[in-house]
Amino acid sequence: MHKTSTIAYIILIALTITSALLSKLGTPYVALLILLLAVFKFIAIAFQFMELKKANPFWKVMVVGFVLLFTVIVWAIK
Amino acid sequence: METQEINYKNIFYPPGGILIWIIIFLELFTFGAALVAMVYYGKQAVEIFHASRLQLNATFGMVNTLFLLTSGYFMAISVEALKLKNTDKFKKLLLVTMFFGLCFLGLKSFEYATKLHEGFAIGYNTFFTFYWMLTLFHVIHVLVGLVILTSVYFGISKKNSTTTLEDVEASAAFWHMCDLIWILLFPIIYLLF
């Protein structure tokens, strides 16, 4: 458990630095990539740090559904 | 401290309790709606939002993300320690959690002072109105989280503590909620426009 949290933490740090570096690139799909990295980080925190992986599927679907819906709306407007 | 086995697979008992998860979803929908509104207004004034975004220090935003993630990590492993009935380790890790929360607030305060000094106050333009409202609202959550964690720290330190594992898990869930909100705020405010 402790080891899994540490691995999740290292991945989260790496993804945060990657997002910041990506933002300096001017390529067209960089915004989508940054959003997708945020989705991944969001799910990692909820499932690993908040222990949602142990919860009833209802709560997992709610969290993943929220962040996906949010990303789709933001991307559709952007 | 009271510890008891909780069946998390029961829909009414998510980790931390159902009440904190209702609060978490209310907060997520509130911040989510505000961010969607920000993106919508950003689409109406692309150049202003881009120029304003460039006035923000993305490195500060990134370092603050690292502070919150580190704090969240220590919160997670402190709860693990408590589940193994290692109260001393839990208390030490909780202090580290709070320390990184304070680091976040320190850097945020410095960033706010810089922005005010440069003249980018809340009414400067639409971008900065959203920037101040969303980040200040988030800062208030971090402050409330720190108060809750302090209360947990002193509560569990008492000789005949009545603090339960579920109380600690609910407090931890609130603290992680601050991470979740920031994970959405950071890319949109600091990187997207």
Is pLDDT of B95 > 80?
yes
CA pair distance B11, A21, nearest whole angstrom: 40
The neighbour count for residue A23, using CB atoms within 10 Å, is 20
For B72, nearest residue in chain A (alpha carbons): A49
Q: Is residue B178 part of a domain?
A: yes
Neighbouring-strand partners of residue B2: B164
Q: Is B165 helix (H, G, I), strand (E, B) or coil?
A: helix
Q: Is residue B80 part of a domain?
A: yes
Q: Is residue B96 part of a domain?
A: yes
Q: Is residue B137 part of a domain?
A: yes
Q: Give tens-digit pLDDT for B106-117.
A: 999 999 999 999
Q: Per-domain residue ranges for chain A? A: 2-77
Question: Domain containing B142 — which CATH number?
Answer: 1.20.120.80
Q: Give tens-digit pLDDT for A59-73.
A: 999 999 999 999 999
Contact B40, B126 (CB under 8 A): no
The neighbour count for residue B106, using CB atoms within 10 Å, is 12
Instruction: Kindly list the residues from chain B whose CB atom is less than 8 angstroms away from the CB atom of residue A59.
Output: 11, 14, 21
The neighbour count for residue B151, using CB atoms within 10 Å, is 13
Q: Is residue B85 part of a domain?
A: yes
Range of the domain at B130: 18-192
Is pLDDT of B3 > 60?
no
Q: Is residue B8 part of a domain?
A: no
| Contact assignment for A59 to B29 by CB distance below 8 Å | no
Instruction: Kindly list the residues from chain B whose CB atom is less than 8 angstroms away from the CB atom of residue A41.
Output: 183
Contact B186, B65 (CB under 8 A): yes
Is pLDDT of B1 > 60?
no
CA pair distance B86, B53, nearest whole angstrom: 45
Domain count, chain B: 1
ipTM above 0.85, yes or no: yes
Q: Is residue B34 part of a domain?
A: yes
